[in-house]
Structure 1
């Protein structure tokens, strides 16, 4: 797999960049330079948007029968499947995701997303007929919104790109994808798969760029919709731009989710779920339940179990299949996480971790860290750390647990743990969040995923995601 690249994928061609600017890519586990890739400028964005616009406005993609678009998506999925090992390796090398996880989520789960939306595309209808007043009919027509700007973060670069690409393709849109500067190699692999699958020219286009050029893409006059996953701060800026332009936007932003442990929780079962529900991807997942709400009657038991669990996790190179916790994605991000750990030492009681692991003299590693005696008003309980740091907060009664869970600027994920799943579901209904798990947490392809409050607006997954890439027209048939 090439570790350096020289061109962008625009209009089904490998195009020479408009400048000689480059991004340097770092192995998160070793801190070694692994390659360089071109850094896009405004002229590159102009070229990509022009290619996407020509593909959308032309007689091809957006007018294709749904079954033909689905066939293209099937071929795209097959080509990605052939490259699954390369995808997993590229992601793990760049952002530190344990290879066992990237093989599962970045490679296999991404295939499932394409397969799901290809199936929905075959079942879709361009319009439906509804009864109107005076005995007449109304035709409700669904049309693709147009050219989409898809801005993808570094933590799940393949899955989060496909989250946008698949429903956009299903709707008949064309896309300009801007990957994060830290995870670019995987986007080249996806582009090669699209080319090999015969995705028509201009339907999918990739340009890696920094935030300033990303902002240019968001405001570009040739863009009809923006789909963004990333920080709440950046999301607010994008929302302001799109609001001024009256441009549709989907925002999947940050989180500070709560895992509520009811007083009848089985601690062993909860600990089995922690890697996916609370510490997924070395803590670098927006929906992680990083606030652990424990009943006062079992507080010490929960704290002790979590501390022991954290200390037993294997920290290591992201490419080692035995690794549970890999490095942070970058030096700058490790510094941010360590800054929050320093704050936590003044706010709570450190019971596990809190430093850099011994024996790892290179790589952006941080120990899995547990804080006890945390108040929900503390910074480590309110601000998104995006690392392997959990805060255990005591509560007194279920109403208090729900109150604490909802006392947050965010509302993306969360979970409720109990030996009585029906009762846990009742509690989950009271949590103000876009998604909540019961005795576990894992987003479902068939159900909408997204947040409320500062966690964003709009939804991915499910048939609802396709609707976000469509416009509606009502045709009143009066005679």
Structure 2
């Protein structure tokens, strides 16, 4: 991989020498080999990033949206011309099959370019006539912001959270996960070409101590966190004492309801494809399959047949459909859930083991039957290739089971009756829902309910997620300056 500046860090919009000589291994999840060693960011590096972001915020926020878009547009152009490299690096260090990487990278590109277009016409400044006089209502940046992104789609989170936050006038410290250390250098190269003002943008692939330092820093005015609910609650607590703004895009345990009238010839391939997407390491994965009892056995049989066709292999091979998990600890966690589910009475209909012939962090797609919704495996987000089938007798019962979860991120229903689909979609408590599909529209407001978080990404709502409003009472009838 041709990656530049690998002895430096992108701090304060510039490549700089790290404060420490400590290095971290980049390990391929496919075969466990070390593919590169890169600087390990320290708390001193994080301290510098926050100090520069705080100093730069006033001038960056004072620019017009048009002026900020000039730099951010160059950043997006730099990302666009690196789409192939982004996909290749992501596949190598995180284990997602390259074809899926390319699909999601292209989708991310569509979304960040959509954000640029929407920003041009969004109502950043409005003039309102009220019974108490004319007002100028402005949307401004919150302040220095930490964006914590996850390994399963960091550039998608750039499109939905980081770029909108920059457009709004915030200075950004992006905290990348350890599984995306190399990818950070590709993002950094694009940001370098954008020539952001000093201090506006930093990228730090730090470990837990660096993450905690950033989230708890008194000069960090906002945190946009994408990740698990347990860590999200700790982020929220850390921000509470200083009343920092928080947007949380957290976990899910989404249910897909397969009604008795579903067209299984089209439904099963869609479900199998969704199960194969990054081996279930997706927050919107349909990990609970709620199936009408009358078609339960047929659905299970078809799913097993579909999963058996998935080609497992090297994630950099375009023919691969099922790659390794991103890290050994993720595989071990999934295996623990499978073992305990079987002990609780579940049956492995397919998978459940490490496949022969692979040295990396592979785990077969696992389909469990005989599961009840109160089992641990049906209630906790596993973030891995473990899917449960739960039968139901009526649509009302299916809706009740779907809602019997502390999560509320996504959901879906497969039915031939549009009215049934709409009814289910409206009654299931989730932030997004799909009729006869499994992947949500990310160009619309995306986010969760309940313990899946709050705040929204995507669409106009995402542009304003990290803004605060100011109302100015005007003393004249002169038009307000934008």
Say yes or no: TM over 0.5.
yes
- Aligned to 2:35, the other structure's residue is in SS state strand
CA distance in structure 1 between the aligned counterparts of 2:474 and 2:380, rounded to whole angstroms: 53
Q: Displacement of 1:417 after TM fit?
A: 0.6
1:311 to 305, 308, 312: 308
Q: Displacement of 1:88 after TM fit?
A: 0.5
- Aligned to 1:319, the other structure's residue is in SS state coil
Paired residues of 1:352 and 1:371 also in contact (CA < 8 A): yes
CA distance in structure 2 between the aligned counterparts of 1:27 and 1:139, rounded to whole angstroms: 53
CA distance in structure 2 between the aligned counterparts of 1:74 and 1:321, rounded to whole angstroms: 31
CA distance in structure 1 between the aligned counterparts of 2:208 and 2:301, rounded to whole angstroms: 42
Q: Displacement of 1:272 after TM fit?
A: 2.3
Q: Unmatched 5+ residue regions in structure 2?
A: 477-482
What are the residue-to-residue correspondences of 1:431-470 with 2, within 5 Å? 431-470=428-467
| Cα-to-partner distance string for 1:196-232 (whole Å, 9 max, x where unaligned) | 1333332211122111221110111221110010111
1:221 paired residue number = 218
1:114 paired residue number = 112
Q: Displacement of 1:180 after TM fit?
A: 0.4
Q: Displacement of 1:51 after TM fit?
A: 1.9
What are the residue-to-residue correspondences of 1:60-459 with 2, within 5 Å? 61-105=60-104, 107-134=105-132, 136-275=133-272, 277-346=274-343, 347-360=345-358, 362-459=359-456
Q: Displacement of 1:96 after TM fit?
A: 0.9
2:20 paired residue number = 19
Paired residues of 1:250 and 1:457 also in contact (CA < 8 A): yes
CA distance in structure 2 between the aligned counterparts of 1:224 and 1:451, rounded to whole angstroms: 22
CA distance in structure 2 between the aligned counterparts of 1:95 and 1:355, rounded to whole angstroms: 21
CA distance in structure 2 between the aligned counterparts of 1:296 and 1:203, rounded to whole angstroms: 56
Paired residues of 1:277 and 1:440 also in contact (CA < 8 A): no
CA distance in structure 2 between the aligned counterparts of 1:163 and 1:238, rounded to whole angstroms: 20
CA distance in structure 1 between the aligned counterparts of 2:449 and 2:295, rounded to whole angstroms: 31
Higher mean alpha-carbon deviation, 300-309 vs 401-410, is at 300-309
Give TM-score scaled by structure 1 length.
0.95
CA distance in structure 2 between the aligned counterparts of 1:278 and 1:471, rounded to whole angstroms: 39
- Aligned residue pairs: how many? 474
Q: Displacement of 1:276 after TM fit?
A: 5.1
Q: Displacement of 1:478 after TM fit?
A: 6.5
Give TM-score scaled by structure 2 length.
0.95
Q: Unmatched 5+ residue regions in structure 1?
A: none
CA distance in structure 2 between the aligned counterparts of 1:264 and 1:375, rounded to whole angstroms: 23
CA distance in structure 1 between the aligned counterparts of 2:275 and 2:144, rounded to whole angstroms: 36
CA distance in structure 2 between the aligned counterparts of 1:169 and 1:276, rounded to whole angstroms: 34
